[in-house]
Structure 1
Amino acid sequence: MPLFRACSGPKLVPGRRRIRRAKWTGRVRKTEEDGSVPPLTRLCLLSLADHMKDVWAKDYADNYLDQYSFRHIMGPFNLLPGDLVEELLQLLCSRQQLSRAALHLLLLPQLRSLSLHSCPGLVTSALCGHIVARCQGLWSLDLSGAQQLPAKALSETLCCLSNLRSLSLAGMPCDGFTIRTIARGCRLLRHLDVSRCHLISPAALLSLGGGAFCSSSCSHSNSQSHSSVFTPSSDPSSSSSIAPLSPLPLSSLLALDIGFGDQEKDPVAAAAYLLLSLPCLERIAIEGFTQACCLIRHREFSWTNEFADREGVPRLEEVWRERRRNLRVNSLSKNIEEASAEKEEDDEEEEGLLLWGENSFDIEEAASRSNQAEQKRKGVLSQPDDECITLHLKDVRGLTCDSLDSLGHLCPDLMSMSINIDGEEETRGAGLGSLLAAGLQTWSGQLRYLSVQFSGPLLRLLPALKVSGSSLASLTLEGVKTSPHTPLLEVMQACPRLRDLDISAEPPCRQVEEEDGGDQQDDRDHPRLPNLCSLRLNFFYEHSQMKPIMSWMALKKVLKCLLAGSPLLEKLSLVALPCPLDSVLEDVLQVVDLNLPDATDPAPVPLGRLQHIGLPRSDVKMVTVKSIMQRSQRLKSVDVSYCWQISQKEWLDCRRFSKVHVVWV
């Protein structure tokens, strides 16, 4: 297959060539996020993507694809570095241009990351055979959504990819045998996602804990089934002699919405076992997590004895003791090393004083410090046993208010959490905000990402946001209720460092007239979010309504503060706003200088960095939308679906004369 093809057509006139080159460069410039001219490497990849179907993959598809099976293909892409091959694959996937022939050409030994979650239809048993033959050095593999791939073929593939660090199998028909294959064959795995795999039971995840469940004490009644847990798929005969395994070094485990266990308590028991047997876990999303934390915190291990006997695993108390013993040994080793290092420094300093010091006071001081170091080292060796276990989790999901106390003792290093407090609002009323604030106090000043699902008034969450909001970079509020007096400005003031703000709320049920002179009020002292990059305000609406009820006029002031005070904003989504939006956008567009210093732009322009705008069911005119399109040179897409003030003629005119993709229904 030739690397290049000579153009045999007639030569172009020099003037026309320049015009054509300028137009082509202009089209490519749109592909860059910042609007700048792309580098030469990017231009080459874009050219390869444009000609992949008609040039590079055509010959292979016509002559070789279904007639031969190659272990390796010496084609035009073998000399490309692995990172460029990965970028080309991502480019083809994003354009929906990745075909079976193109994928065969790009499955190369230098590939380290392969993600096919956007085109799961290409994942077949035959393709997995090509992956095993050509890409055994893969570090990351994402096959999420490939429902047509049998579990047996998946297991045979994974047992040959021993270098995997990240594996995503969400929504696939994998089963417990697949998990056992992963535990045996992927010993370097750090991230595993098996969410929505309904054939996997909670107990099947226990094999990820490795040798903690291989002890001889649990072989009394289930020796045959227990041996099958650790049988590699490539060697079935090895079930008679199975070597114990250490736990996988998993730092991330996502297993939400998987299959059910034999009994209702199985998810909680399995979660408790995984928390204690996987020492490297930092991120987890699994059913029964909150109850498992309470169980470990209060040491109610007998609650899982029936589960342990049925599954043939050690009692949870034994696993807890082993985890505590390992933590104590590691801590003592670390402290002894530090104390020994300090003692060596003191010995060197004492020796120097003995050699060079002429003052007896210096010698006595050196001896005193040497004795203190020796006493410290002996004190480390005689430390009492600590009954408390600390988990190194940093990202957890599916919490409740009741679990925050236990979680504060077990996981003091949390930086990201998702809390679901639906159903608790009716029973606790106004005290819920204080309870949540007290629970979040443990992570005050360190929490970076917070997601709260709450069906009550947003006002009740304000105390909790004041406790944890100072360090938040991302805030998501789902299902909250609003009123004309909802303190959104106070929320902004409590979270000044936000980069992402996502609020899905019910609109106010009653309308309050706007106060006179509200628009003329000086807003220079209002809170701003100078780091905000993504803003989404989504208000629930009924599909039968043509437009939402304008019941929250004070929201205009909040929107003006958000849009005018966030010069780094790139993504904006405002859905079914219960207030006029057109006047707000006009006021923001008139702002010239916000006096907000920025490293790259000394005078950032409001809405100047927008790339994507969504304004469905909003009170906005096409004239205002065009003004935003002229202001934002990086704008790529605008969604004005169901905007009643925009006609089809205006949409067609804007679509005809603008390069921005405009959606209207």
Structure 2
Amino acid sequence: LPGLAISQRRHPPALLPPARHGQPLCRHSPVPREADSHAVSHTAGCLVQDLLQLLGESRRLTRAALHLLLLPHLTELSLRSCPGLVSNAITQLITVRCQNLSSLDLKGCSRVPTAALVDLLEGLPRLSKLGLAETQANTQVLAAVGSCCRRLRELDVSHCQKVAPDSLLHLAYDQTESALCCPALRVLLAQGIEPKAHSQDLVRALAFVLLALPSLEFLANSYLREALCLIHTQQFSGAQGLPGFPSLEELARRRQGARAAGGDSWLTLPLRRVEEVEDPFLPTFCSVCPEVAEAAVSLSDGPGTSWGSLAWSRLTQLAVHCTGHRGRGLAEMLPVAQGLGAQLQSLSLHGFSYDDEFSFCALLNCCHNLAAFSSHLSVPAGPVRPADAVPNGEPAAEPQDWELDLLHHPFPKLRHFSLGLASSCEPLPSQHATVLRASLASLLSHSPRLETLALLSIPFSLDGVFQKVLAAPGAALRNLRELSLAESQVSSPTLHCLLALDNGLSSLNLAGCPAIHRRDYDQLLRTVRKERLELDIAWQ
């Protein structure tokens, strides 16, 4: 583009700093032997784990090699890439050799019998993260986890066919000691655990776990909503407990008593992340889980959501998805953005309609502390004039008035931004396009830390947007690493200007760009080779 002074990015060979006279090239700072030994062990353990993952994913790992690589240096061990090699003998070796393990992932290792899993867990009391998904884990294994792994913070028992709803009770309560277990457990993944007869059995088991585990922040199971509703209504009279376990009423009284000592007698849970929250149940989730920091909400085609019930004062990550056929207008999200926008660090909005042309910039004005933003919008329906056309059918010139003061704040923390418009036969109205152009130019010009940018299926030319951004003073796009313009309108000269930026761009996606042809793609590749850029370009 004319008038732009842009430096080129090259990769010269690394040079050693010049040594002063009489000074050796290699200098060693004195390190205490104990710290040095710990650092070497940690490094060796990381290298062994990386090697195991590489060999496993490439299907070159043998059982003999696995025997050799199970070393005492390991603090983290994942065998999910080679489940067919993991047997009873391997788990015995892990128990003997890998006493320092804090993280163990056995996902898919279904050849290990239940008894071997119990012996393994009894010999690894330092575990803080454990993956048993798709294994032969059962009630005895979960009981061993609860009684032996006191430091455990994360557990995955998803899709374990031998885990019944009642098995979860043994994870949270030790019958032999008559005491609650897993005081540090924060994450429990229990997807795929289905009730064998009555769904209420699983609902009560999940309610038991939620009430018994004092530190639980995330529970993944499709019946979580029903369990939270049971706790919210506290209708425990019909929930008959198992012999040897405290009742739900007793657990609820114990939790309420602990909160009453702190001045709050309402029954709440410490969950900080919830998923698949349907809009009618928002009040229940907010009431029972007031400390939620990350939420995924689903909106149907029903009446508008009462965002006034969204009383999550600690919410920092919000994802909202419209699941109905009609969708919702983006302007419906303005109340929640006005109430929580300043504290949001991540916002994802999908399935909304871009009806009000000022709704997008109004939303961003409320969320200036975002680190990540993602949205996929549909264009408004109805007879409108296309964005890049005039009544006589000739292409319209790009608007030159960029003085629209639409965004009132910079975005100093924004690192990831993605905006897509759904491909449809409906054109984007010209007024919407003008406002969106100005909003994007302002956003990109005032986001100095932006690393990934995706502008997908944008139905107007982005040349003017990037020209405005590159001509602006400051560090716009200087930290950009990944750029996707798939199915958007952008010209080859603009792309060459973007390649000339000194920003370490490593990925460029041009799939489906109508203005980029084979000759343009070949010229971009020649520029990459000539300038020795470490850049991958995708094109149809």
TM-score class, shorter-chain normalisation, is: 0.7 to 0.9
| Contact 1:555-1:579 at 8 Å conserved across structures | no
Map 1:481-630 to 2 at 5 A.
481-483=353-355, 485=357, 487-510=359-382, 511-513=384-386, 519-524=400-405, 526-527=407-408, 528-541=410-423, 553=433, 554-593=435-474, 605-630=475-500
Question: CA offset at residue 591 of structure 1?
Answer: 1.8
CA contact (8 A) 2:257 2:265 kept: no
Q: Decide which of 512, 516, 522 is 1:642's aligned counterpart.
A: 512
What SS does the corresponding residue of 2:458 show, helix, strand or coil?
coil
Name the residue aligned to 1:465. 337
Cα-to-partner distance string for 1:114-136 (whole Å, 9 max, x where unaligned): 3455x356762265444333222
Q: Structure 1 residues 304 and 513 mapped into 2: Cα distance closer, same or farther (>3 Å)?
A: same
- For 2:336 and 2:160, how far apart are their aligned partners in 1? 35
Partner of 1:449: 317
For 2:471 and 2:113, how far apart are their aligned partners in 1? 59
Partner amino acid, structure 1, of 2:420: N
Which of residues 116, 141, 156 in structure 1 aligns to 2:104? 141
Does the C-alpha gap of structure 1 residues 518 and 24 become closer, same or farther in structure 2, counting only changes over 3 Å? closer
1:479 corresponds to 2:413: no
2:366 aligned partner, one-letter code: A
SS at match of 1:479: strand
* 1:70-81 matches, cutoff 5 A: 80-81=40-41
Q: Does residue 1:247 correspond to 2:181, yes or no?
A: yes
The equivalent position to 1:275 in structure 2, one of 178, 202, 210, is 210
Distance 1:389 1:484, change over 3 A: closer
Shift of 1:208: 1.7
Give the drift of 1:503: 1.4
Identity of aligned residues (%): 28
Deviations along 1:421-443, whole A, 9 cap, x unmatched? 2x2x32x14xx2xx12x112x33
Structure 1 counterpart of 2:86? 124
Q: Which amino acid aligns with 1:321?
A: R
Cα distance change on mapping 1:122 and 1:201 into 2, 3 Å: same
Are residues 1:419 and 2:297 paired?
A: yes
Give 1:558 shift: 2.5
Q: CA deviation at 1:612?
A: 1.5
**Which residues of 2 match residues 350-369 of structure 1 at below 5 A?**
none
Would you say 1:663 and 2:535 are equivalent positions? no
Measured in 2, the distance between the counterparts of 1:561 and 1:109 equals: 54
Tell me by how many angstroms 1:640 deviates: 1.6
Residue 535 of structure 1 aligns to a residue in which SS? strand
The structure-2 alpha-carbon separation of the partners of 1:577 and 1:647, relative to structure 1 and needing over 3 Å to count, comes to: same
Residue of structure 1 equivalent to 2:276: 398
Supply the distance in 1 between the matched residues of 2:13 and 2:164 (Cα, whole angstroms).
54
1:503-523 superposed Cα distances (whole Å, 9 cap, x missing partner): 133344454455999541414
1:392-445, Cα deviation, whole Å (9 max, x unpaired):
222222323343333444333322222222x2x32x14xx2xx12x112x334x
Output the CA distance in 2 between the equivalents of 1:582 and 1:505.
Answer: 21
Cα displacement (A) at 1:609: 0.4
Structure 1 residues 296 and 530: alpha-carbon distance in aligned structure 2, compared to 1, 3 A threshold? same
How big is the alpha-carbon RMSD for the aligned residues of Structure 1 and Structure 2? 3.7
Counterpart secondary structure, 2:493: helix
Partner residue of 2:236?
301
Distance 1:155 1:525, change over 3 A: same
Of 61, 69, 77, the residue aligned with 1:100 is 61
Q: 1:110 to 1:503 in 2, by over 3 A?
A: same
Q: Is 1:654 equivalent to 2:524 in the alignment?
A: yes
Please report how far the alpha carbon of residue 463 of structure 1 lies from its aligned counterpart in structure 2 after TM superposition.
Answer: 0.9
Where does structure 1 lack aligned partners over 5 or more consecutive residues? 1-21, 27-38, 42-76, 215-241, 333-382, 594-604
Aligned to 2:21: none
The 1:557–1:190 alpha-carbon spacing in structure 2 relative to 1, beyond 3 Å, is same
Which stretch shows the higher mean deviation, 283-292 or 507-516? 507-516
Q: TM-score, normalised by structure 2?
A: 0.78
Q: 1:534/1:201 Cα in 2 relative to 1: closer, same or farther (>3 Å)?
A: farther
2:253 counterpart residue number: 321
Write the letter of the residue equivalent to 1:571. Answer: T
In 2, Cα distance between equivalents of 1:40 and 1:619: 54
Query: Structure 1 residues 473 and 187 mapped into 2: Cα distance closer, same or farther (>3 Å)?
Result: same
| Structure 2 contact 353–377 (Cα < 8 Å) conserved | yes
Distance 2:370 2:129 in 1: 29
* In 2, Cα distance between equivalents of 1:313 and 1:207: 9
Query: 2:194 maps to what in 1?
Result: 259
Q: Please give the TM-score of this superposition, normalised by the length of structure 1.
A: 0.64
Larger radius of gyration: 1
Q: Does 1:285 align with 2:220?
A: yes
The correspondence of residues 358-397 of structure 1 with structure 2, limited to 5 A, is 387-397=265-275
- Per-residue CA deviations over 1:88-144 (Å, capped at 9, x if unaligned) read 744885896795377665533132223455x35676226544433322211122344
CA offsets per residue over residues 506-558 of structure 1, 9 Å max, x none?
A: 3444544559995414145623422100112234447xx9xx95555242222
Tell me which residue corresponds to 1:30.
none
**Corresponding residue of 1:598:** none
Return 259-268 or 531-540, whichever deviates more: 259-268
Q: Work out whether residues 158 and 185 of structure 1, in 8 Å CA contact, stay in contact via their aligned partners in 2.
A: yes
TM-superposed deviation, 1:204: 2.5
Name the CA distance, whole Å, in 2 between partners of 1:631 and 1:584. Answer: 16
Look up the equivalent residue of 1:244 and give its one-letter code. Answer: S
Q: Tell me the SS of whatever aligns to 2:292.
A: coil
Deviation for aligned residue 1:275: 1.3
Residue by residue over 1:280-332, the C-alpha shift from the partner in whole angstroms, topping out at 9 and shown as x without a partner, is: 21233333333333322322112423xx35x874432122223334555xx37
2:351 partner SS: strand
Q: Distance in 2 between matches of 1:461 and 1:450?
A: 11
Which secondary structure does the structure 2 equivalent of 1:503 belong to? strand
2:256 counterpart letter in structure 1:
R
State how far apart, in whole Å, the 2-side matches of 1:475 and 1:121 are.
37
